[in-house]
Amino acid sequence: MMILLLRALALLSLLCAPMAQAAPDRRGPLLLAAASMQEAMTAAADAWAARGHPRPVLSFAGSSALARQIKAGAPADLFLSADEDWMNDVERAGLIMRGTRADLAGNRLVLVRPAKGRVSLRVGRNMPIARALGRGRLAMANPDSVPAGKYGKAALTALGVWPSVEARVARADNVRAALALVERGATPLGIVYATDARASRSVAVVGTFPAYSHAPIRYPLARLATSRNQDAEAFRRFLLSATGRSILARYGFSAP
């Protein structure tokens, strides 16, 4: 009797094995995305899931921090950077899948104040931004490494005012952290992306930086070389599709 039972169990395991192997991996792809993409990528992930796919897992931070995580071996499927430099860094390390890199979106850089603030300033050459700060500081993502901060420093330098504010910068880990400083009234002014200002009811735009004052703001997207998720490539293509770009446009992003 025992021998018959063992044989039955063995047969059952053989029959079930192919079914287990054929069962799809239902984990959604892991996307590491620039902090400024929070609302747009959340909406894109929801739209993708509504089509019957596993919902992508989203992780947001400064592009510099994400690039360092990827180079340190963090498991992920897709990388969406807020500038080309950090994508170039990851690509030089051989960590993106060949042929998958593409520019997804563009943005603008703006000067913001708390919604109830009274600072008025025309953004342009030699603007009196140091005087406008009073005793306060200028909130920016870290200008040494984070894309929004690098763009901001370049813009202030081109407009001839960086030396007057360099020592008064409140450096944040990413652009959303810089935005939060202005939202709380911790700083009278801050530099963020136009889409960040649009996403917040607690700040007002003082002015937009001229396009000539900094490099074009582009968001490159790529699949990582270590990606094994079956949905990763399809989700990448969805983001680059007309539907994906329409979602981005809804949140204020422009064509790259």
In a domain, 90, yes or no: yes
pLDDT of residue 16: 45
Q: Are residues 101 and 224 in the same domain?
A: yes
Q: Are residues 98 and 223 in the same domain?
A: yes
Sheet strands side by side (includes 30-34) = 57-61, 30-34, 78-80, 217-223, 102-107
Domain containing 156 — which CATH number? 3.40.190.10
Write out the E strands in the chain: 30-34, 57-61, 78-80, 102-107, 109-114, 138-141, 169-172, 189-193, 203-208, 217-223
Q: In degrees rounded to 5, what are phi and psi of residue 249?
A: -65, -35
In a domain, 47, yes or no: yes
Q: Which pLDDT band, with edges at 50, 70 and 90, does 15 fall under?
A: very low
Q: Are residues 85 and 136 in the same domain?
A: no
Q: Mind listing the pLDDT tens digit for each residue in 143-202?
A: 999 999 999 999 999 999 999 999 999 999 999 999 999 999 999 999 999 999 999 999
In a domain, 86, yes or no: yes
Among 200, 160, 173, 206, residue whose Cα is nearest residue 184? 200
- Note whether 253 and 38 are within 8 A (CB): no
Q: With the C-alpha atoms ordered 243, 248, 251, 253, is the resulting torsion angle positive or negative?
A: negative
Q: Are residues 114 and 194 in the same domain?
A: yes
Tell me the pTM.
0.87
User: How many Cα neighbours within 13 Å face the side chain of 105?
Assistant: 28
pLDDT of residue 11: 40
Q: Are residues 90 and 127 in the same domain?
A: no
Classify the phi-psi angles of 86: left when phi > 0, otherwise alpha if psi is within -120 to 50, otherwise beta: alpha
Within 10 angstroms of residue 73's Cβ, the number of other Cβ atoms is 9
What is the residue range of 164's domain? Answer: 109-208
Q: Are residues 65 and 120 in the same domain?
A: no
Q: Are residues 170 and 118 in the same domain?
A: yes
Q: How many domains does the chain have?
A: 2
Q: Are residues 115 and 203 in the same domain?
A: yes
Specify the range with the lowest mean pLDDT, choosing from 24-38, 75-89, 158-172. Answer: 24-38
Q: Are residues 75 and 119 in the same domain?
A: no
pLDDT of residue 58: 98
Q: Which pLDDT band, with edges at 50, 70 and 90, does 72 fall under?
A: very high
